[in-house]
Amino acid sequence: MGTGFTIDTPLQVAKYGISSVIPLVDDVLVEQVRKFHCERHGEPYEEISNSNQDARALRIAAYLSLVDRLVRQQVVALQASPFETGSDITRYFEMLPETPLKRAYNEMLATTNEAAKAKMQADLRQQAVPGSIDVNIMTKLDRDIYVNGNKLPVEFADAMAALRGFATSTLNSSVVFSAGINQRLYTYAATFDDFFPDKNGVLKKKIILKVSDYRSASVQGRFLAKRGLWVSEYRIESGLNCGGHAFATDGYLLGPVLEEFKEKRQELTELLHATYAKALADRGWSVNDEPHKVSITVQGGIGTAGENEFLLRYYLVERTGWGTPFLLVPEVTNVDEAHLEKLLAATDGDVYLSDSSPLAVPFWNLRTSASEETRRQNIREGKPGSPCVKGAARLNTEFTETPICPASRAYIKRKLQHLPEEGLSAEQLAVVKESVLSKSCICHDLGGGTALKYGIDAAATPSICCGPGIMDFKKISTLEEMVAHIYGRVSLINSKERPHMFIRELMLYTDHLRKECENFNLKLSFRTPGYFHKFRENLLAGIEYYHRLAGQFIEEQRKNFLAALKVLLDEIETVALPEK
């Protein structure tokens, strides 16, 4: 989702019952988009300037409340629209998959009795409810804020202020915590009443954890439960087969991870409820005897209706998440025309797992983006690095007392000057230098598509953080077309050679293992030899699991799946691991 791709997606899709997530990284962009939509919709706008010490939280709260208000208005208009071709309410029901609600709609269309049809339409209108307007806070982006060299109180840190903005908005939705545990942020959430049940046991604001393995879900869930906070959803994401930042697990593949959640779901819910209930009682809050609902959802690399249906049916997940393919749906996400063309033209090598992120986390990147072209141009001109416009990743104190960003010109200049003093071999120096120079200003450039689309900044140089699955799609699509693809009514897949999502993830993990071994051999890794052996054991256990799982596939798919497993098994076994 970057910082801008889905910043106003709820205004395009929520009224059709589709849930989406607004990123809360860039409050300057949030404020600019709020101004744009206030002017577009005739809403009053009063600037929240940088001079306000709590500008970040206030901007986020104001924008989220605006989106909430506009979507509510859209839903009222949709429910009142006529059941005729092209109307919003017709779009709503036509896009639905085959469900009881879709069947009720089709029965209404087939009814000839006008009185009966009118009653059925009235019932359908009430069931045309909006999708959730959720938000995302990347927990690692929690820089402390300095004014005149003095650090402000902790509640003004980036993630803390973003949470406060969400908590004080009018939204009745969920916050997605991604990128791992942030203890001070999670503890801070317990200071807002909306995260606790009301007198009817209802949570106005809910918590979603994005995780890539069961242990992470359990640890974070317990931490929150001890503070009286309930996790309403565990959003399982592939460690590598995703978009944006890629948080590789220790070789735990998505299929086995989903299987573990399937087996231990009830156990996890009961364990956390006991801790949660005690924490609520200690705080004087009412306690439900029955646990709140817990949803298990999955995202990361899903590309076909068959994969989507299998995840829902076999692993019993409630919902699936689709991100990267929607970058090619202009009415839903913010990608400028030039980068839409670059995405369509992307081939192997154009979309790669890079060192671009200043967070030192692997980051999916489009090599042909304007951001990457600008980075390379700056290097050629002898001025590597970025001016650090937004500062969300100012977390490094290697050379300065006040943190600066590793992608900034100030940091890269110092680092390059310091490298000769680090006693590196020529080979090590080349690898480290390349990594230093690869850093780019993603916290600003990931909003470039929005800045161009809405005339905010004509000189913006967008960065695109698509996942590898973008190469499977070679067509600009409408919302209806992409929804029809997800539900199997049409196929937008470009190539018959596309690997199954589980196979692609295994391919990525195999490449990751090989690269980690190379870094270890160069003495540029903090890993121990035991790590690599455990990593390979987990991959081999995953392959064994997939051999058993293949019995669930149709014959042709099973044959291709098993053949791909064999190739990858051979590759993994040839990777030379460090000796224990």
Amino acid at 517: C
3-state secondary structure of 451: helix
Residue 407 belongs to a domain: yes
CA 265 to chain CA centroid, nearest Å: 23
Give the pLDDT band of residue 82 (cuts 50, 70, 90): very high
**Among 87, 120, 137, residue at a domain's last position:** 137
Average pLDDT (307-312) is: 98
* Domain identity same for 519 and 438: no
Residue 285 belongs to a domain: no
> Look-up: residue for tokens 């455990």?
534
* Domain identity same for 425 and 513: no
**Contact between 396 and 405 (Cβ < 8 Å):** yes
pLDDT computed for residue 289 by the predictor = 86
Segment 496-527, tens digit of pLDDT: 789 999 999 999 999 999 999 999 999 999 99
pLDDT computed for residue 365 by the predictor = 98
Segment 544-573, tens digit of pLDDT: 999 999 999 988 899 999 999 999 999 999
- Between helix 55-80 and helix 158-167 the angle, nearest 10°, is 40
Task: List Cβ neighbours of 179 (8 Å cut-off, separation of 6 or more).
Answer: 138, 139, 140, 141, 210, 245, 247, 361
- The whole domain housing 424 covers 336-466
Residue 491 belongs to a domain: no
Segment 50-60, tens digit of pLDDT: 999 999 999 99
Residue 232 belongs to a domain: no
Residue 359 belongs to a domain: yes
Residue 64 belongs to a domain: yes
Tell me the C-alpha distance between 311 and 495, whole Å. 22
Q: How far apart are the first and last CA of the chain?
A: 40
Determine if residue 385 is left, alpha or beta; phi over 0 gives left, psi from -120 to 50 gives alpha, anything else beta: left
The yes-or-no verdict on residue 531 having pLDDT over 90 is: yes
* Domain identity same for 31 and 123: yes
pLDDT computed for residue 561 by the predictor = 97
| 493: DSSP letter | B
Segment 322-371, tens digit of pLDDT: 999 999 999 999 999 999 999 999 998 999 999 999 999 999 999 999 99
Segment 253-284, tens digit of pLDDT: 999 999 999 999 999 999 999 999 999 999 99
**b/e code 471-499 from CB counts within 10 Å (16+ = b):** bbbeeebebbbbbbbbbeeeebbeeeebb
Residue 366 backbone dihedrals phi, psi, to 5 degrees: -100, 115
* Domain identity same for 512 and 442: no
What does pLDDT average to over the chain? 97
Cα atoms found within 13 Å of the Cα of residue 255, Cβ hemisphere only: 24
pLDDT computed for residue 328 by the predictor = 98
* Domain identity same for 570 and 462: no
The yes-or-no verdict on residue 439 having pLDDT over 90 is: yes
Here the tokens at position 339 are 């980068």
Cα atoms found within 13 Å of the Cα of residue 378, Cβ hemisphere only: 22
Domain count, the chain: 3
* Domain identity same for 449 and 512: no
pLDDT computed for residue 375 by the predictor = 98
| 315: DSSP letter | S
**Among 110, 137, 164, residue at a domain's last position:** 137
* Domain identity same for 553 and 438: no
Cα atoms found within 13 Å of the Cα of residue 348, Cβ hemisphere only: 1
* Domain identity same for 364 and 422: yes
Segment 104-124, tens digit of pLDDT: 999 999 999 999 999 999 999
**Contact between 244 and 1 (Cβ < 8 Å):** yes
pLDDT computed for residue 580 by the predictor = 84
* DSSP-assigned beta bridge partners for residue 557: none
Q: Where are the alpha helices (DSSP H) in 14-157?
A: 27-41, 55-80, 88-94, 100-110, 114-127
pTM of the model: 0.97
Sign of the alpha-carbon torsion through 33, 12, 62, 293? negative
Here the tokens at position 337 are 């025309």
Residue 367 belongs to a domain: yes
Tell me the C-alpha distance between 57 and 59, whole Å. 6
Residue 190 belongs to a domain: no
* Domain identity same for 7 and 97: yes
**Among 86, 107, 137, residue at a domain's last position:** 137
* Domain identity same for 432 and 553: no
Segment 157-179, tens digit of pLDDT: 999 999 999 999 999 999 999 99
Tell me the C-alpha distance between 467 and 288, whole Å. 41
pLDDT computed for residue 288 by the predictor = 84
* Domain identity same for 530 and 426: no
Here the tokens at position 471 are 């190469």
Instruction: Tell me what percent of the residues of the chain surpass a pLDDT of 70.
Output: 100
Tell me the C-alpha distance between 97 and 9, whole Å. 21
Tell me the C-alpha distance between 559 and 556, whole Å. 5
**Could you write out the DSSP letters of every residue in 98-115?**
SSHHHHHHHHHHH---HH
pLDDT computed for residue 1 by the predictor = 79
* Domain identity same for 405 and 507: no
